Chain A
Amino acid sequence: MAAISFPFETVLIANRGEIAVRIIGSLRKLGLRAAIVYHEVDAATPAVALADVAFKISGRTPVSAYLDAEQIVTAARTVGAGALHPGYGFLSENAGFARAVAAAGIAFIGPSPEAIELMGDKIRARNFVEGNGFPVAPSAIEESDPPTFLARARSIGVPLLVKPSAGGGGKGMRIVRDLDLLEDAVAQARSEGQRYFGDGRLYIERYVEKPRHIEVQVLGDAFGNVVHLFERECSVQRRFQKIIEETPSPALSPQMRQRICETAAGIARAAGYRNAGTVEFIFGGGEFYFLEMNTRLQVEHPVTEMITGVDLVAEQIAIAANRPLSFRQPDISAQGHAIEARLYAESPERGFLPTSGKVLMLDYPHEQGVRVDSGIAQGQSITTAFDPMLAKVIVHAPTRDAAVAKAIRAVQKVVLLGCETNAAFLARVLGDAGFRSGEVHTGYLDENPTIASGIDGDPDEVTGLLAVAALVTRPVRDAADAVPALHAAIGDWRN
């Protein structure tokens, strides 16, 4: 989409880290100026260095600065931005912010505030999707008609998940696989709901065994055109934190892929959705159900870009500039297989504790079909002030097997010294037999804790590490050099 004109020259990025760098890349390509807001702890990051203009914002904590809509709108006005890209996280799904940006005469690069509100309210979104004839998990809500609650639940059929309406974090939840046990489960869940949340109201839905997380990328313009850009599978996660994403999903048949992708596009169309969005589904037992819609660019969008060749950020900007989509559904095709691995500042081997430190050496793999979206630079300090994601390693290859092998090599080539990361864990997940066979689900890592804890004690590796450590540690080397050379053949003479 070269050489198109925009009604704005400067775009303010209300974000930080790798996604800010990613957005700047597309702005450059489109000939637009990149402005950014930053908290002082981010002053030395690549995003701030790359931007054409940077505006400092402050807050009680660094995160609160990036959540301060007023300061950010003021910054956008001050730098003369005609559009604002919110990235992901922070204010990206805040309808009030989208409204404030628009009220300031600045184009919000995202959906309408109404779409953000609709999809942000989980019950409303679910009812909207169901009302338009799309699949949601069959469920029975007690308060809609208490006397028929159990009968309605029975008619769904097993397995069932009984949840406190006020619940969260899995507390009070009961799985029922035998309808004879439903009443007991309801009584227990009610008492636990009462105890944990002071609220005994319940909600029952179809339980999906070994659920997989499959989502579909959609794009809609201001003229009612909506397309999908295929699915992404994000089942490798830990407590709702995605770790590895790929496309295409190894779980879908061509027919199922078409159904799920068309469903996503249909939901977006029904919502009059404009800009980039992602419709998330739970998939299991050959069926899929609407989970939620994310009204923003996703972290894992690069795998879609790799297989389709579409620059999603550039499309977002064009849509916000009121341009019609430059392609229709039949124009979009997918080539090969792409995998993304998220590099986090955390230690899977020590219970996923966050890590920090100064980046003393940083080197990423440089090869065809390997893309690294990174927000850090050598010399920078990694703190725990923000989300621990440092970078994303994305690979593209003709087949899934080739992509897995390439992803393993790529994460092993990431050299980040000074702050512990999950790189070795990523290589273990990618090399795991379950992952390689494509048989994963959202509980897979919890069911296989040795992938996180790692298996240590390769004596060869310990020898190598100690040899390097001994040879580069000044006092050890000095002490050795202070004695005359001996012949190695003498061996253990000190014994």
Chain B
Amino acid sequence: MFHKFDLGGVMHELWLAPTVNGYYLRILDGWSGPVAFAEESTGRGSLTVAGTSEAVAFAVDGDVIHIHMRGRTRSLRYVDPLRALASVDGDDGHNVARAPMPGTVVALKVVPGDAVTAGTVLVVIESMKLETQIRASQDGIVERLHVKDGDSFDRDAILVTLSQGN
């Protein structure tokens, strides 16, 4: 079966199949050939691509795979086909305000139960020493605040959930 990985916003599809002494990798938009990975200690190992080996360090965090090789670190996201569908489903009837970048909550401007219109400021965040206002993208009722004053959050964290109220 085909698997999808997001590398820096570019989606790559690949499949992997076992061979007698390793695996065969086929990248749809790229190279195909024999590969092997020998894990030597937790998170460290040797990658062999077409007979050439190199040292690699990696860490898996949920769907994200962080890899250090050739003197630099990159992160890829495994795009699970089932999860992708589920999240679309889960957002039904709800509208969430997500953090556009990591930061800290400076002020919460609403409380659960508040009726808001599109453009209402929900949360004021601080990031890179700049304050940014997070606004409602549509009308609704504040259902839940996921953060409190002074909290730090990562990029894409859900800050506020609105119910559509109809």
Contact = CB atoms under 8 A, between A and B. Distances in A.
Contacts of B24: 486, 488
B78 A473 contact: yes
A494 interface: yes
Contact of B78 (A411, A427, A456, A476): A476
B124 interface: no
B32 A492 contact: yes
B54 to A, nearest CB: 7
Nearest to B152: A383
Q: Which of B5, B18, B34, B149 has the most CB of A within 10 A?
A: B18
B30 A464 contact: no
A249 interface: no
Contact of A486 (B3, B8, B18, B72): B18
Given A466-B5, A476-B3, A487 B67 contact: no
Interface string A41-70: 100000000000000000011100000000
A187 interface: no
A480 B37 contact: no
A374 to B, nearest CB: 16
Interface stretch (A88-96, A190-198, A352-360): A352-360
B111 interface: no
Interface string B105-133: 01000000000000000000011100000
Nearest to A363: B57
Contact of B69 (A354, A465, A473, A491): A465
Interface in A449-495: 456, 459, 461-473, 475-477, 479-481, 483-488, 491-492, 494
A67 to B, nearest CB: 14
A491 B25 CA distance: 10
A365 to B, nearest CB: 11
A467 B37 contact: yes
A466 B43 contact: no
- How many A residues touch the partner, as a band? 35 or more
A222 interface: no
A417 B16 contact: no
Contacts of A491: 32
Contact of A473 (B3, B20, B71): B3
A258 interface: no
Contacts of A461: 69-70
A416 B74 CA distance: 10
B73 A467 contact: no
Contacts of B8: 349, 456
B132 to A, nearest CB: 12
Nearest to A356: B102
Contacts of B154: 356-357
Mostly, the B contact residues are: strand
Interface in A414-463: 415-418, 420-421, 423-424, 427, 456, 459, 461-463
Contact of A467 (B49, B126, B128): B49
A454 B72 CA distance: 12
Interface string B1-41: 10101011000101111111001111100111111110000
Contacts of B98: none
- How many B residues touch the partner, as a band? 35 or more
Contact of A416 (B19, B34, B35, B73): B73
B18 A360 contact: no
Contact of B59 (A361, A383, A456, A494): A361
Contacts of B35: 467, 470-471
A473 B1 contact: no
Contacts of A484: 18
B73 A415 contact: yes
Interface string A78-99: 0000000000000000000000
Contacts of B73: 415-417, 420-421, 423-424
Nearest to B56: A468
Contacts of A483: 17-18
A384 interface: yes
A276 to B, nearest CB: 26
A360 B66 contact: yes
Nearest to B43: A361
Nearest to B69: A464
Interface in A269-304: none
A346 B37 CA distance: 30
A413 interface: yes
Contacts of A424: 71-73
B71 A383 contact: no
A464 B25 CA distance: 11
B102 A472 contact: no
12 contacts: A412-B70, A461-B70, A462-B7, A464-B70, A466-B76, A468-B58, A473-B78, A477-B16, A479-B16, A480-B16, A485-B19, A494-B26
The 8 A-B pairs with the shortest beta carbon distances in the complex, nearest first, are A412-B71, A360-B59, A356-B102, A383-B152, A417-B66, A424-B72, A417-B59, A471-B37
Interface of B: 1, 3, 5, 7-8, 12, 14-20, 23-27, 30-37, 43, 47, 49, 54, 56-61, 65-76, 78, 80, 101-104, 106, 126-128, 149-150, 152, 154-155
Given A464-B70, A466-B12, A479-B1, 7 more contacts: A383-B104, A465-B67, A470-B16, A480-B15, A480-B23, A485-B20, A486-B18
